[in-house]
Structure 1
């Protein structure tokens, strides 16, 4: 008697592993680089822009603190996106756009502690002349040094169409926010720092042009026009210096009618000048006397503080550094 065994038909036989999930595919290096650019390089670019602008701004001024505060906020946002967000949603913004995810070697979820250690381990990727970042190009599992140390991998994962639209929307918002922050920082730097710097340079240029002429008019007077010259000189001073000049003019009147003429032969504006205040060093030459045959020739060096009032530079103080020398003899 022959026993006949029923042979299962092909449609009832399950091949080994038919119901098993497909093995996750490691993400390629270009895809990982694109996600990294969105997650990290965008923020680094914003922070670098803020750092350059902060360097040009007055140290510890209000604008400097604004740049520093925004840079700190951007750094915190980067950390939240890279470490905290994946533990809640499974994605960072960049990885969601690229369709990749950080997992354990077996494809499981990665917790907060391991993600944090992985981010710190990226320092080794950079310290090794950035070789760690390039390691996925030849590693069979596409891992960086940080992945090897944290025992993580980056896998390609499927994303539903509705999720793709949501992810791209979020990525677009992040990119737009980064561009707007950088643009706002540049605009603020222009209006708050560059324009101030430009105003200071314009003020210095005005002092270079007007300062020597003002000092010449302040110290010069003629025997036939002394009253007019003294009145004009008083209009070139601030309330702070005017009383001193009045005393000096009174001493000149008491000495008798004379002619005194100065002209600047060399001048320099000191660096601490601002939009409304400035200091100059001037080397002066001049002559004193009424008789052309008996003129006394003068040399002197002075330091002059200027203050801008109602758009006009005025002398706020005058200090004689080298006393006037008359015909080579001190007077």
Structure 2
């Protein structure tokens, strides 16, 4: 037989949130992704953006225009010249810069946020997950995590070195976002 609920019990049943998902238990330091692996993933992730910006810079450099002005006086003739990017070169640079930013938002935001791994992290076989749920943190929080890396830079880049001595190998941004980097289990 079912016991009828009192009004105060009904409120408790509705207002009580579900229990949190499985938390990542305290793992030994060796279980977290090493710092060197994280650095290599960062370099891999940024190669396409660097290439795109490099292409734009080369186009801009190859399409520079030179303007010269002559100054003729009674005693001398002087010529002053200036090089400046052409309109097409400037447009090419900014378009490739925007393409690089779009790639980085896709890689660090969408891809890493939904799967846990950016392209570089996939190559290096690790993922970024929430310390609380053990799941990828989603697009928005992944973008915020990248912005939080600004804090790593504030103290002369020292925040990026935290994984060298931290028990969970977290940067300051990881600590702020409560994320950890874990190897992808082969299976």
Deviation at 1:104, TM superposition (A): 1.2
Q: 2:44 aligns with which of 26, 34, 38?
A: 38
Length, aligned pairs only: 140
Deviation at 1:44, TM superposition (A): 3.4
Corresponding residue of 1:101: 127
Q: 1:132 aligns with which of 150, 159, 164?
A: 159
Contact 1:83 1:115 in 2 (8 A): yes
Change (3 A) 1:44 1:133: farther
- TM (norm. structure 1) is 0.38
The 5-angstrom pairing of residues 138-157 of structure 1 reads 138-157=165-184
Deviation at 1:101, TM superposition (A): 0.4
SS at match of 2:85: coil
Distance 1:124 1:23 in 2: 25
Deviation at 1:129, TM superposition (A): 0.9
Q: Write out per-residue CA displacement over residues 183-242 of structure 1, whole angstroms, 9 at most, x where no aligned residue.
A: xxxxxxxxxxxxxxxxxxxxxxxxxxxxxxxxxxxxxxxxxxxxxxxxxxxxxxxxxxxx
Change (3 A) 1:155 1:48: same
Deviation at 1:42, TM superposition (A): 4.5
Corresponding residue of 1:68: 94
Change (3 A) 1:144 1:22: closer
The 5-angstrom pairing of residues 2-17 of structure 1 reads none
SS at match of 1:27: coil
Change (3 A) 1:67 1:156: same
Structure number, greater radius of gyration: 1
Change (3 A) 1:128 1:29: same
Q: Write out per-residue CA displacement over residues 262-318 of structure 1, whole angstroms, 9 at most, x where no aligned residue.
A: xxxxxxxxxxxxxxxxxxxxxxxxxxxxxxxxxxxxxxxxxxxxxxxxxxxxxxxxx
Contact 2:113 2:141 in 1 (8 A): no
Contact 2:149 2:172 in 1 (8 A): yes
Please, what is the CA RMSD of the aligned residues? Answer: 2.5
Report which structure shows greater RCO (CA 8 Å, sep ≥6): 2
Deviation at 1:147, TM superposition (A): 0.4
Unaligned runs of 5+ in 2: 1-24, 65-83
Deviation at 1:60, TM superposition (A): 4.8
Corresponding residue of 2:72: none
Distance 1:137 1:125 in 2: 13
More strand as a share of residues:
1
Deviation at 1:79, TM superposition (A): 1.2
Distance 1:102 1:129 in 2: 24
Distance 2:130 2:178 in 1: 6
**Is the aligned partner of 1:121 residue 2:148?**
yes
Distance 1:148 1:88 in 2: 20
